[in-house]
Structure 1
Amino acid sequence: MKKIHFAIMCFLMLSVAVNAQNKHSKVTKYPSYHGLVMAGYQGWFRAEGDGTNSGFSHYFANETHCGVDAWPDVSEYKNTYNTPFKLADGSSAKLFSSYDKSTVDLHFKWMQEYGVDGVFMQRFIGYTKSPRARRETGVVIKNALDAASKYGRAIAIMYDLSGLNASGEDCSAIISDWKYLVDSLKVTNQAGAKTYLNNNNKPIVAIWGLGFPDRPYNIRNIGILKLIDFLKNDPIYGGCAVMLGVPTFWRDLNADSQNDPFLHEVIKQADIVLPWTVQRFSPLLHNDMDRYRDLMIGDMQWCKTNHLDYVPCVYPGFSWHNLSTYEFPDDVKPVASIPRQGGRFYWQQISTALQAGAQMLYVAMFDEVNEGTAIFKVTDKPPVSNNAKFIDMDGKPGDQYLWLTGEAAKMLRNEKPLSYTLPVRSN
C-alpha cells in the first residue's frame, strides 16, 4: 500500500512539474528556425519629444557628435522629429523614435510586405539591471510583440552581454529579466497570434557575446553554464532552445576568438551557434567568399558532430565613421569601409551561405544605422553636414535590402531557384 501511495505522489509531483511549464505557449506559427531569415532589431533609437527624456539617444549627442552612418528614410513614419541636421534644401532632417508604437508597427509591416520572417529583439545586459531601462525597453518589446502578432512575424529575445563588467559580475540578472519578460510581457505567449520563434518546438533565447577577446569579462567567471541550465531546464521558465553568439573563428579558437577551450564546453551545452561575421569579410578582398564558404562548411560539420544547429550571419556592409570620429579619434574609420555595392556584397554572402548548405540565416541588422548595417529603408539623400558623413544607397531604392532579404527567404525555402548573381526586380 505504501508503494502505491508513493507512486501516486510521484505521479502528482510530475504532473505539477509538467503543468508548471505552461508559461510558454504550446503553439506558435514558428515552431522551427529552419527555413527562416531572421534579423537583429536594436529598437534603441530615441528622439527629443518622444516622452522618454532621452534626447536623440543612439542617434547623436549633438550636430558635431553624430552616432549614425546611415540616415533612415522617414517618409512613411507617422511620427517624426526635427533634428539639428539640415537637408540639401535647407529643411530640417527628421528621425523616428523606436519608442513610438507606430514606428515598430511600420517596421513589422515592412517585414510582412517584403518577406522578412522576423527579428531577434536585442536586449543588453544593462537593461536588466536598471528599472527605468527595463520599463522603457519593455515598451518597445511589448509593441514589437503586438506588431509581430498583427503581421504574423517571428520574434525572439537576444541578450547581449556587452556592458558586463570584469569585477565579478555574472549573468544572473538575465535570469530575473527573463522571468519578467515571460511573466509581465508574455513574450512567449503573446496576446493574439502566437509567433514567438521556437526551434524543435522550444522557445529560442539567444545570448550574444561569448568568446570575444576585447570583452572585459572572463567567460569562466560569469555563470554562463548556470544561465544556460536555467533556460533549458527550469520547470517554469525553462524548456528553451539556447542560441549563442560567438566569434567568427570560434571553432579554431584563434583570430577574433579567445583561445580558451572552455568556449567549446559552453557551446556544446547550447542548441544553435551564431558566429558573428560582421567586418570579418569584405568585397574588397580577393576571393573572400571562398574563405567564407570554407569556414561555414567546417563549422557545419563541427556542429553536426556535436548535435547543434548552425546559423550563418550575413550583413549588407559596414560603416562606422561618425561614431569613431569622437569615440576613437586616434582610430577614425573611413566612410563605407566595407561598401554595400548596391547589394552585391550582401548577395554574395547570402548565395554563398545557401550554397554551403545553410538552413537558416541571421541578418545583421534590421535597424542598425549606427554601423551602417541596416536593411530597412535608408535614404539616398542624407543630411548635408560639415561634421558628419553618411553612406548613400548607391543609386538603389531605399527598400533594396528589404527586398533582397525577402528574395533570400524564398530561395532558402526552395520557393525560387538560387541565384548566384544579384537578383534584379522585374518591375
Structure 2
Amino acid sequence: MKMIAVKKIGLYSLLIVALASCSKKEAAISPEKEAMANTKNITTDILRSPVGDVVGKLVVGYQGWFGAAGDGSAFNSWRHWAASGTPAPGNQMFELYPDTREYLTTFQTGYGNLGNGQPAKLFSSWTSQTVAKHFQWMQQYGIDCAAIQRFGNYLYVDSRDKAFRDGIVAKARNQAENYDRKFYIMYDISGWNSFQAEIKTDWTNAMQVHTNSTAYAKQNGKPVVCIWGIGVSGRPGDVTSWTDVINWFKAQGCYVIAGTARGWRTDATNMAAYHAADMITPWSVGTFSNLAEADTYASVMQADVAYLDSRGQDYQPVAFPGFAWSNWKPGTAQNMIPRLHGDFMWRQFANIRVKGIPSAYVAMFDEYDEATAIAKAAENSSMIPTNQYFLTLDADGIACSADFYLRLTGDGARMIKQQIPHTSTHPTAHVQASTSTKKLIVGSTVSLTALVNGKYVCADDGGNSPLIADRTSAGQWEKFTIVDAGNGKIALRSLANNQYVCADNGGASPLIANRTVIGSYETFTEVDAGNGNIGLLADVNNKYVCADNSGNSPLIANRTSVDEWESFIVTTY
C-alpha cells in the first residue's frame, strides 16, 4: 500500500545518523556548562498579540491517524501502524510502543506477547474512547490546545480518507468540548498538489462549521487555522499560491498560522508568504540532536521572534522530545535523537522561557511513528512485544513512567506561562512516588466502606443524589473506577452514571457524582489512614472526606484530620 500521508519529518533527519554519536557525549558536559541561562537572563515576555487560545498557550500536534482492522472506520483496516496488513515482526511503521492499559478497546496484532505476558494489542484513533482518553490526558496534564492535523493529499481522491479525517475532527471537537480544551485545524499540504483550490473548498464545506464550537481556538477574536508546508522543501506550491491561500483564509476572518521550515527568515524568495501570516511556527524537529545544538537553536528563536515582533507578527516555536524511525526506515539508528530521559525537551522549554517567548507547539501528542509522542508509552521491555524491537522510555538508562512526558510537558507549559519559576533542569519526577502501598490504583474498580459504620458508599439514586455510606452490599451504585488526575492524584468515576465524584461548591457541599470532566473539585489524594485503610483529601479545599454524623449524613470534604469518620476500607474488583 502506498504511504497514506507524507509526514512532517525533520528537514535534516536523514543527516542525523552522522550526528547521533554526539548525543552520547552529553554525560561528559558539566551541569554548569549545560545551563544556558539563569533567571536573571530571562527576557521579558514578548507579546505582540494578547494572550488567547494560541498566544500564551501550549499547543500539541494531534495526528489521530491510527486505524485497525475491525475498528468500524471507513477503511476498517490497519493504518499507520503498518504500511499494509496486520502489524507483526518486520511489518511496522512505528518506533515507540504505546502504553495501552487505559484503552477500553484494543486490537490484536501479529506480535508475540508483551514481556509481561499480556497480548500485544494496539489502539485505533477511530475509537471514540481513544480520542476521549487523549483529551482527558490533555486536561489532566495541563495541555491547552490541540492542533488537529488534516492531510489533504487524499481528501478528494479517496472518499474513505475524507470520511476518516472528517470523523476524527468531529470526535476531537466533542472531546475538546467535554474536557474544556481548545482545538484548531492544521492543514498539511504535503503531497497535496491541488491544495490551492481544494483547501478553500474543504474549509468552506467541511471544516468551517467547527468554528461554531465553544472549544474552537480563537486568537484576537478570530478562529485559528494553520497551513503547514509554506516554504518547506518538497512541498507543493510557490510564494504566489501560498500567499493566495493565506490571504484567502484571512478574508474569511481567520487568524492564520504558517508552518514553515526552520530557516524561513533567510528565505527571501518566499518572504511575501511569511509576511502575510499572523503567526509563524518553524518546524525544528530533527534539525538538532543534543543539548548543545538545542542551545544554538535558542539564538535562532531569539532572532525569529525579534524579527516578527518588529513586524507585529506572533511566533510559536516547536519543541520535541526526541526522534527515531528505525522500524519504518531500516538502516537508520535506533534511538536516533535520544530523549535523554526528558533533559532534551526540557532544555527546549527552558530556552523558550529564557527568550521571553510565551507560546509553544509540542510535536507531537500521538506520533508513535517517529517516536516523538508525548502520550503514554511503554516504560520498558515488559511493555513491548518480545519478538520485535521498539523504543521504550528507559532507553537512556533511567526508568520513566508511562506518563512522564505528559507530566514534563505540563510542567513545561507552566514554566513558559510563568506559573512556576524558570529552571534549567526539569522538576518532573521520572517515576512518581511508589504506589505499592496505594489502594486506589488507576484503572481499577473499587468500592469504599466507611469505617465508622461498616457500610458501602453509594452514589444514590443513580448518581443524582449525594454520596452516602448506607448500603450493606456493593452493586453498580457502590462501585467507582479510579482515574489518573495527574501529579499522583486521582478521580473517582461512578459506575452508576459514568460521572466523576465532585466536592461540590468548593467542598462546602456534599460529594456527588455529577461531573463529566476532571477539575480541582473532582481531584483527590489518597492518604494512609492506618491499618490498611485510606483517607481522601479533596484538592479543592485541602480537607478530608468525612462520612458525617457516623455515616448517617452524606459524605463531605470538611475535616482537617483523619479519624474514624474519615477512614474507608477499599475493596478492589
TM class, shorter-chain normalised? 0.7 to 0.9
Greater RCO structure (CA 8 Å; 6+ sep): 1
1:120-131 aligned within 5 A: 120-129=147-156, 130-131=158-159
Aligned-CA RMSD value: 1.7
Work out which of the residue numbers 412, 432, 451 in structure 2 matches 1:408: 412
Contact 2:81 2:369 in 1 (8 A): yes
Per-residue deviation, residues 248-286 of structure 1 (Å, max 9, x unmatched): 111123xxxxxxx23211010110000000001112x6x
Secondary structure, counterpart of 2:211 in structure 1: coil
Instruction: Determine the structure 1 residue equivalent to 2:436.
Output: none
Shift of 1:422: 1.6
1:24-173 aligned within 5 A: 31-52=52-73, 53-60=75-82, 61=84, 62-63=87-88, 64-86=90-112, 87-89=114-116, 91-129=118-156, 130-165=158-193, 169-173=194-198
Measure the CA separation in 1 of the matches of 2:309 and 2:155.
34
Measure the CA separation in 1 of the matches of 2:401 and 2:202.
40
Deviates more, 1:406-415 or 1:376-385: 376-385
Shift of 1:127: 4.5
Shift of 1:420: 1.1
Secondary structure, counterpart of 1:322 in structure 2: coil
Measure the CA separation in 1 of the matches of 2:273 and 2:127.
38
Instruction: Determine the structure 2 residue equivalent to 1:227.
Output: 245
TM normalised by structure 2 equals 0.62
Normalized per residue, which structure has more strand?
A: 2
TM normalised by structure 1 equals 0.82
Measure the CA separation in 2 of the matches of 1:140 and 1:315.
23
Contact 1:379 1:392 in 2 (8 A): yes
1:4-15 aligned within 5 A: none
Measure the CA separation in 1 of the matches of 2:258 and 2:276.
10
1:206-355 aligned within 5 A: 206-215=226-235, 217-220=236-239, 223-233=241-251, 238-253=252-267, 261-283=268-290, 287-325=292-330, 332-355=331-354
Contact 1:58 1:67 in 2 (8 A): yes
Secondary structure, counterpart of 1:84 in structure 2: coil
Q: Cα 1:89–1:144, aligned 2, differ >3 Å: closer, same or farther?
A: same
Contact 1:85 1:383 in 2 (8 A): no
Same amino acid, percent of matched pairs: 35
Measure the CA separation in 2 of the matches of 1:362 and 1:369.
17
Per-residue deviation, residues 374-405 of structure 1 (Å, max 9, x unmatched): 0000012343355x421111210010111011
Q: Given residue 140 of structure 1, which amino acid in structure 2 is its aligned partner?
A: I
Instruction: Determine the structure 1 residue equivalent to 2:556.
Output: none
Measure the CA separation in 2 of the matches of 1:363 and 1:308.
20
Gaps of 5+ in 2: 1-50, 434-573
Measure the CA separation in 2 of the matches of 1:114 and 1:170.
35
Measure the CA separation in 1 of the matches of 2:116 and 2:420.
43
Contact 1:209 1:245 in 2 (8 A): yes
Q: Given residue 82 of structure 1, which amino acid in structure 2 is its aligned partner?
A: Q
Measure the CA separation in 1 of the matches of 2:110 and 2:117.
11
Contact 1:127 1:137 in 2 (8 A): no
Secondary structure, counterpart of 2:153 in structure 1: helix
Instruction: Determine the structure 1 residue equivalent to 2:199.
Output: 174
Runs of 4+ displaced beyond 6 Å: none
Measure the CA separation in 1 of the matches of 2:370 and 2:336.
10
Q: Given residue 67 of structure 2, which amino acid in structure 1 is its aligned partner?
A: R
Q: Given residue 71 of structure 1, which amino acid in structure 2 is its aligned partner?
A: Y
Contact 2:103 2:133 in 1 (8 A): yes
Measure the CA separation in 1 of the matches of 2:180 and 2:117.
40
Measure the CA separation in 2 of the matches of 1:113 and 1:31.
20
Contact 2:411 2:428 in 1 (8 A): no
